[in-house]
Chains A and B, each alone.
Chain A
Amino acid sequence: MENNIQTRFKNFGQYGIFIAFALLCLVLAMITPRFFTVSNLMTIGNQVSINALLAFGVTFVIITGGIDLSLGSMVAVTGVVAASFAHPDTYPLIVPVLLGLAAGSGMGAFNGLVITKSKVPPFIVTLGTMTIGRGLALIWSNGRPISNLSDSFNFIGGGNILGIPFPIIILIIAFVVCSIILNKTVLGRYMYAVGGNEPAARASGIRVTRVKMWVYSICGLLSAMGGILLTSRITTGQPNAGAGFELDAIAAAIIGGTSTSGGTGTMTGTLMGALLIGVISNSLDLLNVTSYYQQVVMGAIIIGAVVLDGMGKEKR
C-alpha cells in the first residue's frame, strides 16, 4: 500500500547523495578547468582519507545508536604516541605503528567499557574522554610537537605506490574491510539490531555489551589509523592535532544517510559523504572562496542532508 511511496523516498535517500555528488562534480568540471586534473583529484583523495577513516569508525558507532565525540582526541593521542617511537634509527617502523593503533583502540575500548558498565549516555562519556584524551596527548608530549620522524614513517602519509598516494590506498582497503564487516559478518548484523531496537536485540539473545565493546574499539582503531596518517603527513606528532575532526566525521556519516537514531546506515553512504565534504571544500578553495564562507556552506549542507532524510521518514 504505502510501500511504493516509501521506497521511492528511501531510494532518494540512498541514491540522492550519488546524484548530488555527480551533479556537483559536473558543475565544477565546467566552471573550473583545474578541478578535473589528476593532481587535483589526488589532492582531494589525500585530504578526504583521514576524515573518511574517522567517519567509517563513527558510522559503526552511530548505527548501534551511539555517538563518539572523542575521535579527534584519539587522533592526537595516537599521533604523539606513534611520533615518539618514530625517530630515525630508533625502532623499526612496525613499533610506532602498532603502539599508535594500540593507543587508539585502547581509548575506544575504554569508551565502550564505561558506556556499557555505567549506562551513562555515549554523548557524555565520549565528551569526557575527548577532554581526557586531549590532556593525555599534552602530558605525553609535554605540550610540544614531536618532530624529527624517520623517512619510512613519513612515507605512510606522504608516499606513493605506482603514483597513487599511500593514504588513498589505505582508504580503499579500510572501506572494503568496513563494508564487509557491516554487511557480511555476524557482528555487523548485530550492530544494526542493537541500534534498531536494543531491548529487542537483547531479548533475541544478542550480547549487546560485547557488540558495543567491539564497535567503540573498532572506532578507536580507525581513528588511530587517521592519527598515524596525519602525523606522518605533517611529519610531526602534534598534541593539538585533530581538534574538531569528530564533527567532520559525524557530518560525513550523517550526510551519507546514517540515521542518528540508530539502526540504519552504510559505508558507501559515509564514503560519499566524506567525498562530498572533500570536494566542496576543495572547490571552494579553487574558486578562492575564503574559509569563513566554507564553514557556512558546510553547515548548511549538513542540515540539508538531514532535512531530506527526515522528509523520507515522515512519509512512512
Chain B
Amino acid sequence: MSEPILQITNLTKSYSGVKALDGVELTLEAGEVHALMGENGAGKSTFMKILIGLVNPDSGEIVFDGKILGNGGVRDIDRKGISMIHQEILLIPELTVAQNIYLGREKEISGSKLGWLNDGVINAKAKELLTQLDVDIAPTTRMKQLSVAQMQMVEIAKAISNDARVLIMDEPTSAISDREVATLFRIIRDLKSRGVAIIYISHKMDEIFQISDTITVLRDGKYVGTKKASDLDSATLISMMVGREITNLYPDSVAQRGRSVLKVRDLGKKGVFANINFEVHAGEILGIAGLMGAGRTEIARVIYGLDRPDQGEVYIDDVPVRILSPDDALRHGIGYVSEDRKGLGFIPQMSVLQNMTLSSLANHRQGIFINAKSENSATHEMVSDLKIKSAGVGQQVTQLSGGNQQKVVIGKVLLASPKVVILDEPTRGVDVGAKFEIYKLIRSLTEKGIAVVMISSELPEVMGMSDRVMVLSKGKQTAMLSKELATQALIMKYAVE
C-alpha cells in the first residue's frame, strides 16, 4: 500500500482532568471509506473537532500528506484539504446553491480583487461541479428550497470545490430517505474512485457494512481497534463498541392487548395526507413505516394538536375529542416524543428536572406556586425508572448524551401520565447501548397498559418492535400488516407504492 494520507498517533485530550480522548490512533488511506464507530460519548466528536482544527489536542501527532498538520484553525485546515460535512447543515438558507458553495471565496472565483460579485461565473462553476457529481440541482436555487438530502449534496460539492482530500461525514443519513441514501452512496463511491478518503460516522450498522472498507472503534475515549469491514460482523462490532454482548436487541413482548385507546377516522390534511384510519389498543405497539415525506410525522403532529387537520376525527377511549393544541392533547392523554429533539423536545437552558416536569407542572402546583418537594420526588423516581445518567437532576440537559437527552424527553411525556404515546424516531442519533434501553423502556410502557405508536425509518426497528405495522406512501395508507406478515420486502413494496 502507498503512503497513508492521514496518520494520527497517540492523540490525547482532557477536559479539566477528564480524559475525552486517550491514545487514539487512526490511519487513513487515499480512496478508502473509513468508518469511525463508538457509542455517544466515546470521543468521536472530540476526535473530529481536533482533526478539523476546532479544538487543540493535549498531545499526539497528526501527519497529513507526509507533513505534520499544525493547527492554523478551521479555515486553514479546510484549505489544506480536510473538510467536514456536519450533522447539522451549516449553509445559509437565503443564498443560492452557487453562492453557498463559493461563500467566502467570491474574490478568487470572480477574479476581482475589489470583490465585485460575478454571479455568472459562480453559477457556471457550480453547475460544472454539480454535473460532475451527477447531482440534479440548479445552482440558482435558494438553499431553503432544498430537501435535507439535497443540502447535503451541496455541502459535499462545496468540500469538493475546495479540493478536499479527506472528507468527514457525521451521521450523513440521519435525516434522509432510503432513496436519497442510495444517491449519497453513489457519490461516496465516486469520490473514492477519485482518491478522496472518507471518514464516515454513523450509528446504522447496515450502512456501515455496505459502504465502509475499514472500521475503527472507540470506547470511552480509548482506541479499541481497527479492522477490515469484511472481517467483521455486526455482533462483533457491537460488542467492540459496548464492551459487552447484546444478544437480542429487541426485547420480547409480554404485554396483553387491551381496549382501544386511540382511534383515527378518515384523518386528512390537504396536500399532505388523506384518509388515514387506524386504531391502537392498550399494551400494543403500532409501527408506522414509510419513506421520508410519506406523511408520518405530519400525521403525528395533527393528532397531537401541533397542526390542524382538514378532515377526520380522533377518538380517545371511543369518545370523539377535539384537539386544537398540544395542551388539549395532553389533557386527553396523548403524549408525543418528537423526532426533532432539539427543536421540539427540550429547553436547552433548563435542567433535567425542569425539562422533565414541564408537561406535568399542574400535578405539582399549590395555587400559583410550584411544590418543589413533589416535583423533585416525581423526577427522581422517573430518572431511576428510565436509568437516566446525569450528574444530578440539576444538570443542564444539553450536557447529557443524546440517548439520555432522549430519555429526558420521554420522561417528560410519561410524567404527564398519557394513555397513548406517539414516538417519532425514538432512537435517532442514539447509540446502540442506549437504543437497547429505549426499546426495553417502550416495552415496559406497553406492560403498563399504555398504547404506543412508533414512527421509524429503520425497518429492523419497526419489525422488531411493532405488533402491527402501518405503511404509508405519499400521504396514503397503503397497508396494515400484522407482525407475522411484516417483512422488510413487503414493507418496502407498500412504501414505494
Report which A residues bind B (CB closer than 8 A): 1-5, 184-187, 189-190, 192-193, 196-197, 199-207, 263-264
Q: Are A263 and B347 in contact, with the CB atoms below 8 A?
A: yes
Residues from chain B with a CB closer than 8 A to the CB of A187 are 368
- Closest chain A CB from B219 CB (angstroms): 16
Q: Are B338 and A192 in contact, with the CB atoms below 8 A?
A: no
Given contacts A1-B18, A1-B20, A184-B370, contact A204 B349 (CB under 8 A): no
Given contacts A4-B16, A199-B343, A264-B349, contact A189 B336 (CB under 8 A): no
Given contacts A203-B338, A207-B327, contact A2 B347 (CB under 8 A): no
Q: Does B57 contact A (CB under 8 A)?
A: no
Q: Does B345 contact A (CB under 8 A)?
A: yes
Given contacts A1-B18, A185-B368, contact A192 B326 (CB under 8 A): no
Q: A263 CA to B304 CA in the complex, in Å?
A: 25
**B365-377 to A contact mask, C-beta < 8 Å, 1/0:** 1001110000000
Q: Are A204 and B326 in contact, with the CB atoms below 8 A?
A: yes
Residues from chain B with a CB closer than 8 A to the CB of A204 are 326, 358-359, 412
- What is the predominant secondary structure among interface residues of chain B facing chain A? mixed
Q: Does B361 contact A (CB under 8 A)?
A: yes
Q: A203 CA to B328 CA in the complex, in Å?
A: 11
Q: Are A203 and B326 in contact, with the CB atoms below 8 A?
A: yes
Please name the residue on chain A nearest to B347 by beta carbon.
Answer: A196
Contact for A203 among B344, B370, B391, B399, CB less than 8 A: B344
Residues from chain B with a CB closer than 8 A to the CB of A264 are 349
Q: A268 CA to B145 CA in the complex, in Å?
A: 45
Contact for B330 among A2, A3, A201, A205, CB less than 8 A: A205
Pairs A-B, 3 closest by C-beta atoms:
A4-B16, A196-B347, A1-B15
- Closest chain B CB from A295 CB (angstroms): 33
- Closest chain A CB from B334 CB (angstroms): 10
- Closest chain A CB from B111 CB (angstroms): 35
Q: A255 CA to B394 CA in the complex, in Å?
A: 25
**B1-35 to A contact mask, C-beta < 8 Å, 1/0:** 00000000000000110101000000000000000
Please name the residue on chain A nearest to B368 by beta carbon.
Answer: A185
Contact for A193 among B16, B344, B350, B368, CB less than 8 A: B350
Q: Does B325 contact A (CB under 8 A)?
A: yes
Given contacts A1-B20, A187-B368, contact A200 B349 (CB under 8 A): no
Please name the residue on chain B nearest to A265 by beta carbon.
Answer: B349
Q: Are B347 and A197 in contact, with the CB atoms below 8 A?
A: yes
- Closest chain B CB from A63 CB (angstroms): 10
Given contacts A199-B343, A201-B358, contact A185 B20 (CB under 8 A): no
Q: Are B348 and A196 in contact, with the CB atoms below 8 A?
A: yes
Q: Are A202 and B347 in contact, with the CB atoms below 8 A?
A: no
Contact for A200 among B343, B354, B391, CB less than 8 A: B343
- Closest chain A CB from B106 CB (angstroms): 27
Given contacts A184-B369, A193-B358, contact A201 B347 (CB under 8 A): yes
Q: Does B416 contact A (CB under 8 A)?
A: yes
Given contacts A186-B361, A189-B354, A200-B346, contact A205 B326 (CB under 8 A): yes
Q: A267 CA to B343 CA in the complex, in Å?
A: 28
Please name the residue on chain B nearest to A200 by beta carbon.
Answer: B344
Residues from chain B with a CB closer than 8 A to the CB of A202 are 306, 325-326
Given contacts A4-B15, A193-B358, A264-B349, contact A205 B399 (CB under 8 A): no
- Closest chain B CB from A204 CB (angstroms): 4
- Closest chain B CB from A217 CB (angstroms): 15
Q: Which of B329, B349, B370 has the most CB of A within 10 A?
A: B349
Q: A207 CA to B347 CA in the complex, in Å?
A: 15
27 A-B Cβ contacts within 8 A? A1-B46, A2-B16, A3-B391, A5-B16, A184-B369, A184-B370, A185-B368, A186-B362, A186-B365, A189-B358, A190-B361, A192-B347, A193-B347, A193-B358, A197-B348, A200-B344, A200-B347, A201-B347, A202-B325, A203-B306, A203-B336, A203-B345, A204-B412, A205-B327, A206-B358, A207-B327, A263-B350
Residues from chain A with a CB closer than 8 A to the CB of B347 are 192-193, 196-197, 200-201, 263
Residues from chain A with a CB closer than 8 A to the CB of B346 are 197, 200
Please name the residue on chain B nearest to A196 by beta carbon.
Answer: B347
- Closest chain A CB from B402 CB (angstroms): 15
Q: A197 CA to B348 CA in the complex, in Å?
A: 7
Residues from chain A with a CB closer than 8 A to the CB of B344 are 199-200, 203
Q: A185-B370, A203-B338, A204-B359 are in contact. List 13 more A-B contacts (CB 8 A).
A: A2-B15, A4-B16, A185-B368, A186-B362, A190-B361, A196-B348, A199-B344, A200-B346, A203-B306, A203-B344, A205-B416, A207-B327, A263-B349
- Closest chain B CB from A207 CB (angstroms): 6
Q: A189 CA to B18 CA in the complex, in Å?
A: 33
Please name the residue on chain A nearest to B362 by beta carbon.
Answer: A186
- Closest chain A CB from B156 CB (angstroms): 28
Interface residues in B191-240 by Cβ distance below 8 A to A read none
**B312-333 to A contact mask, C-beta < 8 Å, 1/0:** 0000000000000111011100
Please name the residue on chain B nearest to A202 by beta carbon.
Answer: B326
Contact for B368 among A1, A186, A201, A263, CB less than 8 A: A186
Residues from chain A with a CB closer than 8 A to the CB of B326 are 202-205
Q: A199 CA to B361 CA in the complex, in Å?
A: 18
Q: Are A196 and B349 in contact, with the CB atoms below 8 A?
A: yes
Q: Are B338 and A189 in contact, with the CB atoms below 8 A?
A: no
**B105-143 to A contact mask, C-beta < 8 Å, 1/0:** 000000000000000000000000000000000000000
Residues from chain B with a CB closer than 8 A to the CB of A263 are 347-350
Given contacts A200-B345, A200-B347, A205-B327, contact A192 B354 (CB under 8 A): yes
Q: A254 CA to B339 CA in the complex, in Å?
A: 34
- Closest chain A CB from B487 CB (angstroms): 34
Q: Are A189 and B343 in contact, with the CB atoms below 8 A?
A: no
